[in-house]
Structure 1
C-alpha cells in the first residue's frame, strides 16, 4: 500500500505464532462437548471449544483429533473441515483451522499438559448456540467457528 505522505511511519509488532485449531465435537444426541478453562487475559474462566496449537510436522486435523482426546477424553467419527480464519490479523501471522466431528463418545480420561486445568461440559447444541448469541460465550475464535459451522450446516 502506497502512503501519500512520506512523513508517516509506523512500527508494528507481529507475532509469528504456529497455526491453531478448534473443533466442534457433537455427540449422537446432538450435544456439544466443551471445555472450560481460566484465561489470564480477561482474568476469568471461559467456555470454549476444544483446541490447541498445531505442533511442528503435524497436520491440523491430526492436532484436532489429538487435542479433542487429550482435553476431553472424547473421540468421534465423520470429521469435516470448516475452513480457516485469521487468528487476529492485526498482530498474529497465523490461522486457526476449524473442524466439526460427529458421533463423539468418551473413551478415556483427560490427558492434560502440566499447565492445563480444564473442566469438560456437555450440553444440547441449541443451548450452546443460544449462549453464543447472548454473549455468554465470547471467545472470538469460538464465535468464528460457530459462524463457519452454521454456514456449513445450512
Structure 2
C-alpha cells in the first residue's frame, strides 16, 4: 500500500474558538476550543504555533558526517545533533538549510537532496521540520554563531554516528526522525 492510498477514518475535531494566550520571540501559545460533533463533546486544547524548522545531514566525500554539539536549555544537558534551525520569515527551508549549515559549522556541500518533512510534535505543535541531505561537504569558512550560540563541530564516520543514535547517545527526536528518513532514502536511492 502506498501512503497516498491510505484513508484516514477518524473523525476530526472542529475548532469553534481560538484565543491567543501568550507570544514569545519564537512561538505563540493558543487556547483552542474544539468540538467532536458526533459525540457533542467539547474540550479546550493548548496549541503552540511555531515556525517550521529544518535539519541537515551533511556528509563529506569520505562518508563522514558533520555534527554539532550544543547545550540544550530544556533538558539542561549537552546534545550531539545535526545542524539545523528555525526557518526565518521570508526564507524557504532550502535557503535556511544552506545558511544554518554554513553558520553553525563553516561547511558547505554541492549535492542537496530533500527528504521531506515530519510533524515536530502534532499533539500540540503546528509546525513541521524539513529534512535535507547534502553531499561532498567541505569546510569553507569559520562559524558565524549568534550571540547566544556555543557550538562545537564534530566530524565522524557515518556508521559511528548511526551507532550513537542506536545506543541513545544521540537522542534528539527530530535528529532521530531525520536519520530514519535518511536510511529509507538511502535504501531506495541508486548511487
Give TM-score, length-normalised by structure 1.
Answer: 0.96
Higher relative contact order (CA 8 A, sep 6+): 1
Q: Measure the CA separation in 1 of the matches of 2:139 and 2:116.
A: 26
CA offsets, 1:71-113, max 9 Å, x none?
0000001100000000111111010000000000001110000
Spell out structure 1 runs of 4+ moving beyond 6 A: none
Aligned-partner SS, 2:88: coil
Aligned counterpart for 2:181 among listed residues 114, 134, 148: 148
Aligned counterpart for 1:131 among listed residues 164, 168, 184: 164
Show the 5 A alignment for 1:102-117. Answer: 102-117=135-150
Compute the RMSD of aligned alpha carbons: 1.1
CA offsets, 1:44-77, max 9 Å, x none?
0000000001111111010000000000000001
Q: Measure the CA separation in 1 of the matches of 2:92 and 2:161.
A: 28
The aligned residue for residue 25 of structure 1 is 58
Which segments of 5 or more consecutive residues in structure 1 lack a partner in the other structure?
Answer: none
Which segments of 5 or more consecutive residues in structure 2 lack a partner in the other structure?
Answer: 1-11, 13-35
The aligned residue for residue 92 of structure 1 is 125
The aligned residue for residue 75 of structure 1 is 108
CA offsets, 1:8-31, max 9 Å, x none?
442211111111000000001100
Between Structure 1 and Structure 2, whose CA radius of gyration is higher? 2
Q: Measure the CA separation in 2 of the matches of 1:52 and 1:64.
A: 8
Aligned-partner SS, 2:144: coil
Q: In proportion to residue count, which structure has more strand?
A: 2
Q: Measure the CA separation in 2 of the matches of 1:86 and 1:116.
A: 25
Matched residue count: 153
Aligned counterpart for 1:38 among listed residues 68, 71, 75: 71
Alignment of 1:60 with 2:93, yes or no, is yes
Give TM-score, length-normalised by structure 2.
Answer: 0.78
Q: Measure the CA separation in 1 of the matches of 2:159 and 2:114.
A: 21
